[in-house]
Amino acid sequence: MTATVGIVGARGHVGAELIRLIAGHPGFELGYVSSRELDGQRVSDHIEAYRGDLRYSAPSHEALPALAADAVVLALPNGKAGLCVEAFDAAVAGGDATDPVIIDLSADYRFDPDWYYGLPELTRGRYAGQRRISNPGCYATAMQLALAPMLDLLAGPAQCFGVSGYSGAGTTPSDKNDPLKLRDNLMPYALTDHVHEREVSAQLGHDVQFLPHVAPHFRGLTITANMPLARPLEPDEAAARYRLRYADEPLVRIVEQAPWVSRIAGRHHVEIGGFTLSPDRRRLVAVATEDNLLKGAATQALQNLNLAFGYDEWAGIPVTEQAMEQDA
């Protein structure tokens, strides 16, 4: 049985990636894609991978429930999801609509205990059929996957230095997505109390300090995690912990050398490696990279959709192909 998916905010970089992924999924089809800027234009004119006749539309948030998609992905800026969610809740309460699965890609519901926090590699055991799913932040995904295997040994706050491509700043013009201002530059921002810092600290139950920067490349992020340890670590113990923790996770790959952000663009997995100990073996440094638009957003949303509808978690995600390409 095919399930229909609506995307709200489909003009952005992540919305485009979602359209490509859903177009290739065996069990989902696009029900609608909303964009005020592209209203009336054919989706296929903008997304080559999509072959259908669907056009972008611009429904009001009150009109969304009547479109009757089985799942709705909200790919909106922070602070914009609430009106849409309220419209669905009101329609369901009034008996005017069925209750769709809603996946919010913004930070609006990541701290709401009534929403399932969907980082499957760490939280799939908490999924029990919830219809409201909060997709983790891109940086937050990489940081949590990099820190989780060492969580029981952390002796103090973990520090994460992050660098992302400018696609992470969205499509609304700003200094952080202006290629001219970023040329030959590295732009720090939100150096304390970043939403992903609060998100990771809350999810892991451990203080994490995050230092984000934007670089001139378009996509892909890297974080370098500095972890103070409660006891000395044996040289091979760190890598062994990571390999054991993620042995059955096709979208987390443990590598020997520190991964390069240039090699993760367009791929659906996270790479973690470069494990380095201080001389006293009480400080571990690890590096994680991911494509911020894919595993950091759209690919993870598809994992969550698959879980919600009972498909194989990696259906529609080219896991085997990407692994073969990287290993070649």
Looking at residue 327, what is its pLDDT?
Answer: 35
* Local confidence pLDDT in tens for the 328 residues of the chain: 799 999 999 888 999 999 999 999 999 999 999 999 999 999 999 999 999 999 999 999 999 999 999 999 999 999 999 999 999 999 999 998 889 999 999 999 999 999 999 999 999 999 999 999 999 999 999 999 999 999 999 999 999 999 999 998 777 777 888 888 889 999 999 999 999 999 999 999 999 999 999 999 999 999 999 999 999 999 899 999 999 999 999 999 999 999 999 999 999 999 999 999 999 999 999 999 999 999 999 999 999 999 999 999 999 999 864 443 343 3
Torsion-angle region of 54 (φ positive above 0: left; ψ -120 to 50: alpha; else: beta): beta
Active site residues: 138
Cα gap 58→79, rounded to integer Å: 19
Looking at residue 324, what is its pLDDT?
Answer: 35
Collapsing DSSP to helix, strand or coil, 210 comes out as strand
Cα gap 194→209, rounded to integer Å: 9
Return the exposure string of 135-148: e unless at least 16 CB atoms fall within 10 Å of the residue's CB, then b: bbbbbbbbbbbbbb
What structural domains and CATH numbers belong to the chain? 3-135+295-319 (3.40.50.720), 138-292 (3.30.360.10)
Looking at residue 96, what is its pLDDT?
Answer: 85
Residue whose token pair is 């390069």: 260
Looking at residue 319, what is its pLDDT?
Answer: 84
- How many other C-beta atoms can be found within 10 angstroms of the C-beta atom of residue 260? 15
Phi, psi of 190 (to 5 degrees): 40, 55
Our CA dihedral for 190, 191, 195, 201, rounded to 10 degrees, sits at: 180
